[in-house]
């Protein structure tokens, strides 16, 4: 029983690390764009008006430019644990039932 508890606790710590990495670190709104920095080192730029130039490219309202995370441990955990098929979907695939069969 103790081994199982240790594995669950380790998994929960990893999920907490991923969740913390996804949190917003800072916001900046200027020149028709909203820039959001995340704890994992990546950022997202949302264009708020048409014809806004960012890093030499002109974007339209609603465009979102995202950079990749820079935290290597976050990338490792996120790749390993967030690319898993959810349990219910895995069971449906195993038994050969697809969404179109409904």
Q: What is the pLDDT of residues 41-58, one digit of tens each?
A: 999 999 999 999 999 999
- At residue 8, the pLDDT reads 84
- Region 14-39: mean pLDDT is 94
pTM here is: 0.71
At which residue do the structure tokens 């264009």 appear? 47
Please, are residues 51 and 58 in contact by the beta-carbon 8 Å criterion? yes
pLDDT band at 23 (very low <50, low <70, confident <90, very high): very high
CA angle 93, 96, 97 (to 5 degrees): 85
């Amino acid at each position: 029983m103790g081994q199982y508890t240790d594995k669950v606790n380790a998994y929960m710590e990893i999920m907490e690390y991923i969740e913390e990495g996804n949190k917003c670190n800072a916001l900046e709104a200027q020149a028709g764009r909203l820039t959001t920095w995340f704890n994992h080192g990546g950022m997202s730029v949302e264009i708020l008006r048409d014809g806004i130039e960012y890093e030499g490219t002109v974007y339209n309202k609603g465009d979102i430019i995202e950079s990749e995370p820079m935290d290597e441990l976050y990338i490792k955990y996120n790749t390993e644990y967030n690319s898993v098929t959810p349990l219910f979907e895995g069971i449906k695939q195993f038994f050969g039932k697809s969404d179109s069969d409904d």
